Structure 1
Amino acid sequence: MTSLSVRGVRGGVGSTSLVAAVGHALESLGERVLMIDMCPENLLRLHFNLLASQELGWARAMLDGQDWHKQAWSLTSTLQILPYGELSEAESASVEQQLLREPQIWVRRQASLAAHYDWLLFDLPQRLPGHGTIGPCLFPIQVVEADAACHVLLLQQATGNPVLVNRFDPGSQLQRDLLLIWRKHYAARLLPLTVHADEAMREALAFKQPVGQYAPDSLAAQDVMSLAIWCLTRRRELA
């Protein structure tokens, strides 16, 4: 089993949409996938037409003393999603403190899931370190847009995690220039592909679908499929 996590270098760079899209792409390639929402915003479920009023999830189960693994939803026989659940700000803070006190929680959970899935995809929040402690992760991907804010934040970081450029617009001189700079200074970290700006990605959420299901011939869906194939290739190389 392989774990992949996605975290935005800042908010609003499309991380959750990417998790939904990559999960769908991997499943279409024959992989067994569980997508896990680690964000209190609990938005990943909306990409798969789960009711916005649905309150259950792994974090809700932790607080209520229920079985966390029973909160997963089967979308197909090989694609499942584990929502975060609906919590108040104070309740999410309580979950954060518990995860900080017991950093092995998700290590144990990953081990218990290993026989059932080929991939675990984690949608991670930015500023909740407890929620981001998930155990072994082969692909801890950071998502950026080619803009000045992400450029500054990358400069301030000490991490060497892989970087994926999302919503890339080749018609933008600024974005092209930043990508050239990043390819020079972050050559070892920058993934060898980008996900292009495509309205289909935004439309897909409005239709409550991952982009590969909503618009399989769109540029964004093709980019995400390339990312999924790259992940499969790298997994074989690193095995």
Structure 2
Amino acid sequence: MPLICFASPKGGVGKTTLTANLADALQRLGHRVLALDLDPQNALRLHFGVPLSDRAGFVAGLAQGGGDWRAALRRAPSGLLLLPHGPTDLRGALDLAIALDREPDLLGRPVREMLSDPDLVLLADLPPGPSQPLALLAPMATMVVGVLQAEAISAALVPEIESGRFLGSGTMAALLAGRLRVVLNGVDLSSRLSRASAEAVARHLGYRMLGAISREEAVAESLACQRLVLDHAPASRAASDLREIARLISLALPPPLATAPPAVPAALPALGSQA
């Protein structure tokens, strides 16, 4: 199973929204996709219509030794698989950080189990900034997608992206930098500043620039409706951008099998079925 990690040097750039919608777009291209939420905001599930009352989660329980990750899986109507983070608080987040520092395999082992299915594509939504999940998963990744917002500060973050420093340090950063690709989110073509920021980032990053997403009300509306952009606003410019980026990612993946054996139990809870 290929692993694609979604990361960002800073929060508030639309990383989770991008992860959810590219997972959906890749599923529509014929790939079998598992979306894994490692961000403690636990927001990835909202894009797929998971009820707020559904407290299932995989990561939140790792500090207590975790359990079978398959028990927390949810299945979207499209067939896409979702593994929510689960609810947590400050104490829980600190306990998890300590547990992963002491025993990295609490996360590494189940992720390797997920990667053992060669036909599934695993998309991991990582916490913003440096984190233990980033340090653990980036070396396993086929591709690391760095997400930036089309704003002035993005130009200042380009050296961090180019060097791979936000992925680690020293030789590890240099090795992982070759797997890094960047998506610029929220590009407002009517704004001179947004356009200038986007052009500056694209000019500096060159081939590492995977694509850009137009800033549109439809993207925010989709989340408010707990729907995906390709369902809510399929004719929007943002939807077109998502399809193109998904196509480029797909080119780096093994072609989907025409028929594939089930990788998980058939009796998974469907999204929207929980009270």
Whether TM exceeds 0.5 here: the answer is yes
Moved over 4 A (4+): none
Match of 2:185 in 1: 166
Match of 1:54 in 2: 54
Match of 2:156 in 1: 152
Q: Shift in Å at residue 68 of structure 1? A: 2.4
- Which residue, out of 111, 124, 128, partners 1:126? 128
Would the alpha carbon gap of residues 228 and 35 (structure 1) be closer, same or farther in structure 2, given more than 3 Å must change?
same
Residue 27 of structure 1 aligns with an amino acid whose one-letter code is Q
Moved more, 110-119 or 162-171: 110-119
Moved more, 123-132 or 100-109: 100-109
Q: Is the 8 A contact 1:61 1:68 kept in 2?
A: no
- Cα deviations across residues 179-224 of structure 1 (Å, max 9, x unaligned)? 3322332214222x21111111100001101111212221111111
Alpha-carbon distance in 1 for matches of 2:199, 2:22: 25
Moved more, 6-15 or 222-231: 6-15
Residue 230 of structure 2 aligns with an amino acid whose one-letter code is G
- Cα deviations across residues 18-43 of structure 1 (Å, max 9, x unaligned)? 11101111111111111011011100
Alpha-carbon distance in 2 for matches of 1:125, 1:118: 22
- Which residue, out of 191, 195, 200, partners 1:176? 195
1:73 aligns with 2:74: yes
1:18 aligns with 2:22: no
Alpha-carbon distance in 1 for matches of 2:63, 2:56: 11
Residue 84 of structure 1 aligns with an amino acid whose one-letter code is H
Match of 1:96 in 2: 97
1:224 aligns with 2:242: yes
Q: Is the 8 A contact 1:10 1:150 kept in 2?
A: no
- Which residue, out of 202, 205, 226, partners 2:220? 202
Would the alpha carbon gap of residues 77 and 211 (structure 1) be closer, same or farther in structure 2, given more than 3 Å must change?
closer
1:136 aligns with 2:154: no
3-state secondary structure, aligned to 1:141? strand
- Cα deviations across residues 84-123 of structure 1 (Å, max 9, x unaligned)? 1111111111112222223344443233123275211111
3-state secondary structure, aligned to 2:206? coil
5+ residue gaps, structure 2, are 165-176, 256-275
Would the alpha carbon gap of residues 61 and 67 (structure 1) be closer, same or farther in structure 2, given more than 3 Å must change?
farther
Q: Is the 8 A contact 1:183 1:190 kept in 2?
A: yes
Aligned residues: 236
Q: Is the 8 A contact 2:63 2:100 kept in 1?
A: no
Alpha-carbon distance in 2 for matches of 1:13, 1:40: 16
Q: Shift in Å at residue 236 of structure 1? A: 5.2
TM-score, normalized by length of structure 1? 0.90
TM-score, normalized by length of structure 2? 0.79
Q: Is the 8 A contact 1:34 1:117 kept in 2?
A: no
Q: Is the 8 A contact 1:9 1:154 kept in 2?
A: no
Q: Shift in Å at residue 155 of structure 1? A: 3.0
Would the alpha carbon gap of residues 190 and 88 (structure 1) be closer, same or farther in structure 2, given more than 3 Å must change?
same
Q: Shift in Å at residue 143 of structure 1? A: 0.6
Residue 145 of structure 2 aligns with an amino acid whose one-letter code is I
